[in-house]
Structure 1
Amino acid sequence: MIKTLLLGIAILFIAIMLMGIKVFFTKKGEFPNTHIGGSKAMRDRGISCATSQDREASNRESLIEKIIKEKV
């Protein structure tokens, strides 16, 4: 039982180290940016992710706010 647990932990540790070789052992190691906004081709097409679109929409003025500003 203990041998199986230790073997599993060792295999998990080795797998994590192999997946992160570039991140752990290079000076400017970073995980790859898989965000839609990180892709130049998507930005060129004007495509962004839902989170970015929600943030932009929440920062916009609503129609009611625009009408109130015009009356004042």
Structure 2
Amino acid sequence: MEILKVILFAFAVLAVGIFGIAVRIVFLKGGKFVNTHVGGNKYLKRQKIHCAQTQDKMEQRDAWRKVKFNNATIASDIKVGK
């Protein structure tokens, strides 16, 4: 019988928590979940801090540009027909 009380109490606490989260979405006009992603934080944006995926994408893009630039430089150094 005691375990039933514990389960019901846990269920009630969980239900109150879910209801609290849903209040913002359901009852506020244009309500939606808060953006907790690093990219949605204006203070981190000011410091140019991004999430790991974005930083990886930026590094890969920069590395690709360096490779393309280096290959173009090497190709222009080759003298054809002399």
TM range (shorter): 0.5 to 0.7
CA distance in 1, matches of 2:43, 2:13: 38
The 3-state SS of whatever aligns with 2:32 is coil
Deviations 1:1-49 (A, max 9, x none): xxxx898767644532222211122221111111112111111112111
The 3-state SS of whatever aligns with 2:69 is helix
The 3-state SS of whatever aligns with 1:27 is coil
Amino acid of the structure 2 residue aligned with 1:46: K
Higher relative contact order (CA 8 A, sep 6+): 1
Give the TM-score taking structure 1 as reference length. 0.64
Match of 1:19 in 2: 21
Residue-pair matches, total: 72
Misfit runs of 4+, over 3 Å: 5-15
Identity of aligned residues (%): 28
1:58 to 57, 60, 66: 60
Give the TM-score taking structure 2 as reference length. 0.59
Q: Report the structure number with the largest CA radius of gyration.
A: 2
CA distance in 1, matches of 2:14, 2:29: 24
Can you give the 5+ residue segments of structure 1 that lack an aligned partner in the other structure?
Answer: none
Q: Please provide the CA RMSD for this pair.
A: 2.5
Can you give the 5+ residue segments of structure 2 that lack an aligned partner in the other structure?
Answer: 1-6, 77-82
